[in-house]
Amino acid sequence: MFSGCRPEPKKVTVRFWHAMGGESQKSLKALVERFERTHPNIHIELVGMGNYDALVQKLMGAVAAENPPTIAQMYENWTTQLLAAGRLEFLDSYVHGPNGLSADELADIYPALLENNTWEGKLLTLPFNKSVPVYYYNVGMLAAAGYDSFPKSWPEFRKMCRQVTKRSTTGEVEVWATANGTDIWIFGSMLFQQGGRFLDKEDGQPQFNSPAAVAALQFQVDLVLKDSVQTTATQRSPVDDFLIGRLATLTGSSTWRAPIVDKEPFLVGMAPVPIGDRPAAIVYGTNIGLFKQASPAEKAAAWTFIKWFISPEQQVEWSLGTWYVPIQRSCLADPRLVARFEKTPGLRAAYEQMNYAVFEPRGLKWLAGRKALIEELEAATLGAKSPKQALDDAAARYIQSEGPMTKGEGNPERAESRESGPSGF
């Protein structure tokens, strides 16, 4: 009677370590639950580490103890270190295998993302959560100053800042044009826009103190110290001050919008960063990597999940919930995202920065080197050093720094840590 019965296949568990919080964590959990409903023989065990610093420390500890997860989020610097230790499985054979991605599917992914996930000529990881720099702006305030859209060049931006800054009769600033100190995200984007770069090669000599870099930093410092249109002191958080009308614009991650959407008391625009000599915008966010130590069954299940997650259908859902940028160009034509673009002035152009995305160095030494750069940028912003002196000092500190590091300090999360909005400051 039981001769035709077959035992159900054993469920495979994929341990996924991540650092998503807030709305991003909610969206990730919802997507995983949907995946498991359509793939009943695979269980995705989500293990949240709270933040990227904790994630990298736990990852390096788990690797040392020979007990890493199946897959994990990872920044490029961590990837370089894990690859050097022989811990990661190349995804190239999966991508180009029988259950892989077609040529059209690969061509739909932004080329810069594929390049940034390639080591030794092969895809090692794949993009997971990618955010672009944006300027949030109070549409009404800019309109009152004569702007029906956000400035597209840096000189135009500086002019706009002077016009939207409001002072009382005693000269006290009541409405600032923008906020935050000297941001490495904006500084780096401006540097690339002027044909510069951080290093001459991975773990090479610093070029972030070149004349182009000094000019980029001088521009930012002038907004604070010369024009007095950008504040470095906010009463609550920059996002909160923006929402109460104390700031006309605010630079940050595209993901800052997730916790405040539909709660703003005015129409909010989201614009790409202005452009210098050429378009360029640094893209932040992690990739997803697969550990060699997983069993063949776990690796196969992990690839099934990765392929599913990075498909356009899921990428649109991920973007809608988190405001991360979908990794495929075709997603921007999806009716659901088109509807969002229609409600948010400038958002499409902000997402289209992926067409000219650039990235920070992936070498091990950069983990410590960028920390020195951030600190010196701040010194220039506060007027403690000239832009040239600050950048020369940062270069000297970079040359003296050592890698690899297993701590989170200095990793790109420091620039992206404000993604979650007010609670992330």
pLDDT in tens, 363-414: 988 877 888 999 999 999 999 999 999 999 999 999 988 655 444 444 444 4
The arithmetic mean of pLDDT across residues 234-238, rounded, is: 66
Q: Which of the two residues, 4 and 90, has the higher pLDDT score?
A: 90
Question: Which residue, among 401, 334, 337, 418, has the nearest Cα to 364 in the 3D structure?
Answer: 401
Q: Per residue in 33-50, pLDDT tens?
A: 999 999 999 999 999 999
C-alpha span between 265 and 293 (Å, rounded)? 51
What tokens were used for 348?
């499409």
Question: What's the pTM?
Answer: 0.91
Q: Looking at residue 380, what is its pLDDT?
A: 95
CA 220 to chain centre: 21
Q: Looking at residue 6, what is its pLDDT?
A: 59
* 421 has a pLDDT exceeding 50: no
Q: Which of the two residues, 127 and 262, has the higher pLDDT score?
A: 127
Asked if 15 contacts 413 with a C-beta cutoff of 8 angstroms, the reply is no
Helix axes 312-322, 22-38, angle to 10 degrees: 150
The arithmetic mean of pLDDT across residues 172-197, rounded, is: 92
Q: Per residue in 245-260, pLDDT tens?
A: 999 999 999 999 999 8
- As a CATH number, domain 133-282+365-403 is 3.40.190.10
Q: From the DSSP assignment, how many helices (H) and strands (E) are in the chain?
A: 18, 17
The arithmetic mean of pLDDT across residues 195-214, rounded, is: 95
* 218 has a pLDDT exceeding 70: yes
Mean confidence (pLDDT) of the chain: 91
Which whole-number Å values give the CA distances from 309 to 44, 150, 264, 384, in the listed order?
A: 12, 34, 31, 47
* 199 has a pLDDT exceeding 70: yes
Which whole-number Å values give the CA distances from 329 to 72, 109, 199, 332, in the listed order?
A: 25, 6, 29, 6
- As a CATH number, domain 12-131+284-351 is 3.40.190.10
Q: Looking at residue 368, what is its pLDDT?
A: 79
Q: Which residues pair with 340 in a beta bridge?
A: none
**Spatial CB neighbours of 279, under 8 Å, sequence gap ≥ 6:** 193, 353, 355, 356
Domain with CATH 3.40.190.10 in the chain: 12-131+284-351, 133-282+365-403
Pairing relation of β-strands 133-138 and 166-167?
unpaired
**Spatial CB neighbours of 40, under 8 Å, sequence gap ≥ 6:** 11
